[in-house]
């Protein structure tokens, strides 16, 4: 089981460092659970410092495909590795919705990050309109088909209508989508979309749910710990 916390644009360096010291012992108490946090760029170093020798891993929320160059606002895999960052999210729906991320740029980001030695969590998922139009499978097929096959690649199924909305897919809906993603790719599949301590156990108990990508609830140490505990029970 993998539980990854996406802090989005929350927790500046000072707060991130303090929070990291609070959660650094989590993996010792959670057998069978890998714990990842994804701070904003400016808090990566502080989080790593706060975690010390902890087994909690730090991923970036994005990564560029070139090693360096005139790409304002971006950071490359070698730059992240130099800090001690060991992975990156790619293709989060907020990147796709607000920053023009496409399946092609997601592919480029994932491929070069993996090649450079990072782990990758690639996010896929349909919008409410796409689901209503009966296009869920078509969308997932399009988004998953560009992802490389690699032992360090993990897919996060995040229905866009469930992200930050409090609307969670039921465990059955999640299972149905996960088993479809599994039919397309052999990577582990995390569920994301309003995962909270109250619904985590039901989602993580599904046979094709290999963990969770947690946004809002990962910002609170007790909530995040409760979700990790649910994962340990399901592991």
Quote the tokens at residue 12.
């500046």
Q: Which of 130, 158, 185, 225 is catalytic?
A: 158
Rounded CA-CA distance 222/135 in Å is: 37
To ligand PEP, the closest distance from the beta carbon of 214 in angstroms equals 5
Cβ–Cβ contacts within 10 Å for residue 229, how many?
18
Nearest to 213 by CA among 94, 54, 65, 81: 94
Q: Is 92 a residue of the active site?
A: yes
Question: How many residues are recorded in the chain?
Answer: 235
Q: Is 158 a residue of the active site?
A: yes
Tell me phi and psi for residue 4, to 5 degrees. -115, 130
Rounded CA-CA distance 132/31 in Å is: 39
To ligand PEP, the closest distance from the beta carbon of 129 in angstroms equals 18
Nearest to 57 by CA among 29, 37, 41, 40: 37
To ligand PEP, the closest distance from the beta carbon of 233 in angstroms equals 20
Residue whose CB is less far from ligand PEP, 140 or 214 = 214
Residue whose CB is less far from ligand PEP, 67 or 128 = 128
Residue whose CB is less far from ligand PEP, 21 or 192 = 192
Which residues sit at the interface with ligand PEP, rule CB under 6 A? 6, 8, 158, 163-164, 192-195, 213-217
To ligand PEP, the closest distance from the beta carbon of 75 in angstroms equals 19
Contacts of 64 (CB under 8 A, 6+ apart): 71, 74, 75, 76, 77, 109, 112
Residue whose CB is less far from ligand PEP, 158 or 208 = 158
Rounded CA-CA distance 3/53 in Å is: 19
To ligand PEP, the closest distance from the beta carbon of 78 in angstroms equals 25
Tell me phi and psi for residue 205, to 5 degrees. -80, -10
Residues acting as catalytic residues = 92, 158
């Amino acid at each position: 089981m993998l539980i990854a916390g996406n802090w989005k644009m929350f927790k500046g360096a000072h707060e991130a460092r303090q929070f990291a010291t609070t959660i650094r012992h989590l993996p010792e108490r959670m057998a069978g659970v890998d714990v990842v946090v994804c701070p904003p760029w400016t808090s990566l170093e502080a989080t790593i410092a706060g975690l010390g020798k902890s087994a909690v891993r730090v991923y970036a929320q994005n990564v560029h495909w070139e090693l360096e160059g005139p790409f304002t606002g971006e950071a490359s895999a070698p730059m992240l590795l130099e800090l001690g960052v060991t992975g990156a999210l790619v293709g989060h729906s907020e990147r796709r919705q607000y920053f023009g991320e496409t399946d092609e740029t997601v592919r480029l980001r994932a491929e070069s990050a993996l090649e450079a030695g990072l782990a990758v969590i690639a996010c896929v998922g349909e919008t409410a309109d796409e689901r209503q139009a009966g296009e869920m499978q078509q969308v997932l097929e399009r988004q998953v088909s560009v992802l490389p096959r690699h032992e360090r690649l993990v897919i996060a199924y995040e229905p866009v209508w469930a992200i930050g909305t409090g609307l969670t897919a039921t465990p059955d809906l999640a299972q149905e989508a996960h088993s479809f993603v599994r039919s397309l790719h052999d990577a582990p599949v995390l569920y994301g979309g309003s995962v909270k301590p109250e619904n985590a156990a039901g989602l993580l108990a599904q046979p094709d749910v290999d963990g969770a990508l947690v946004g809002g609830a990962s910002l609170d140490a007790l909530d995040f710990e409760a979700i990790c505990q649910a994962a340990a029970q399901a592991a």
